[in-house]
A = this chain, B = another copy of it.
Amino acid sequence: MYRNFRIVPNIIFGRGAFNQLDDVIKHKRTSSESYFVFVVDDAFTGQPLESRIPLKGRDLLLRVNVDDEPKTTYIDALVKQIRTYHFEKPVGVVGIGGGSTMDIAKAVSLMLNNPGSSADYQGWDLIKFPAVYHVAVPTLAGTGAEISRTAILTGPEKKLGINSDFTLYDQILLDPDLIAGVPKEQWFYTGMDCYIHDVESLQGTFINEFSRAYGEKSLDLCRQVFLQDHPDRDDKLMMASYFGGMSIAYSQVGACHALSYGLSYVLGIHHGIGCCIAFDYLDEIYPEGVAEFRQMMARHDISLPRNLTKGLDQAAMEKMVTTALGLVPLWQNCLGPDWADIMTRERTMELYTRM
């Protein structure tokens, strides 16, 4: 049985497309009471981008902090804040920021229409009701959050996404100008999230020709960005992110993402850098990908933090291993049905010990 794959149905792409945001969303403003919630990374507070947000009437500018990756408690608090702000629901939610902000906007738009806590929906297809109309405006490229069917959250028990067709954005606006000024490290780590998606998808056992076509082109674009300094690298990285997201959406990620989830859950390490840290120890699984990744690191003079797990107690180490190995579909994709015989707890522990 093949999965019937849902895709974000509307996309606008181009340098300066952010100027059209008002035009793109205005069809939802059906009455004078209608309002939008703009979920914006608080790194933009007082920045020129903030003043370009097309706020109208009752619209709510909801600045969010992503120093830590989004938690379910944070989502629940934001939803409560919106409900307190106005008794009617917003007609739409627009997420402006990187992967964490885009995931917050997804989760908020879902939770406005679904009862209980966001922690209740961490898993696959647990969401019952469609989300409020939601729009992504990425200001970082690589996560694929703009196209994925998940909103990744750290809950009381686990780091796991709200995976559902309802999670998908209704609209994405890709403006390469928005990623032009990102600091080098952030640009690199987020871009590598995409590169690693491609390697994990293409080398996985779930691969099909749909995922291969997207993954191969995304890899090609990543090379143009990170090895060839192409003059249109902002445009290319945005497309790489979109294609990488499409590739994993119809296949799956693999070992690196599983290990990075453990690093994030126990050590609070951000996803992009966590993927880079883990990938650097995965020569045995992805030899060519890791070799090329190191070329990219060298070219951009990136040095990764080391000895992160040194001094961690046994319980924390065990929790990290349990988190990583709990992501069964990722390991099945990476190593096939007998994955548990190959990636034992001991081997996983040994990998984490070296990080």
Instruction: Mark A residues whose CB is within 8 Å of B.
Output: 1-14, 17, 20, 24, 171, 174, 176, 208-210, 213-214, 216-217, 220-221, 232, 235-236, 238-239, 243, 250
Q: A11-B210, A214-B217 are in contact. List 13 more A-B contacts (CB 8 A).
A: A2-B12, A2-B13, A2-B17, A2-B20, A4-B12, A4-B24, A5-B11, A13-B209, A209-B235, A209-B236, A216-B217, A217-B217, A217-B220
Task: Check if A243 sits within 8 Å of B213, measured CB to CB.
Answer: yes
Q: How far is the CB of A300 from chain B (nearest CB, A)?
A: 21
Which residues of chain B are within 8 angstroms of A1 by Cβ–Cβ distance?
A: 20
Q: Which residue of B lies closest to A19 (CB)?
A: B1
Q: Which residue of B lies closest to A24 (CB)?
A: B4
Task: Check if A209 sits within 8 Å of B239, measured CB to CB.
Answer: yes
Copies of the polypeptide in the assembly: 2
Which residues of chain B are within 8 angstroms of A4 by Cβ–Cβ distance?
A: 10-12, 20, 24, 171
Which residues of chain B are within 8 angstroms of A214 by Cβ–Cβ distance?
A: 217
Which residues of chain B are within 8 angstroms of A6 by Cβ–Cβ distance?
A: 9-10
Task: Check if B13 sits within 8 Å of A7, measured CB to CB.
Answer: no
Which residues of chain B are within 8 angstroms of A10 by Cβ–Cβ distance?
A: 4-7
Cα of A10 to Cα of B7 in the assembled complex, Å: 6
Which residues of chain B are within 8 angstroms of A2 by Cβ–Cβ distance?
A: 12-14, 17, 20
Q: How far is the CB of A26 from chain B (nearest CB, A)?
A: 11
| Other-chain residue from B11, B209, B250 in contact with A232 (beta carbon distance below 8 A) | B209
Cα of A13 to Cα of B238 in the assembled complex, Å: 25
Which residues of chain B are within 8 angstroms of A239 by Cβ–Cβ distance?
A: 209-210, 213
Q: List 8 A-B contacts (CB under 8 A).
A: A2-B12, A6-B10, A7-B7, A9-B9, A176-B209, A209-B239, A213-B217, A216-B220
Task: Check if A7 sits within 8 Å of B5, measured CB to CB.
Answer: no
Q: How far is the CB of A216 from chain B (nearest CB, A)?
A: 7
Cα of A210 to Cα of B246 in the assembled complex, Å: 14
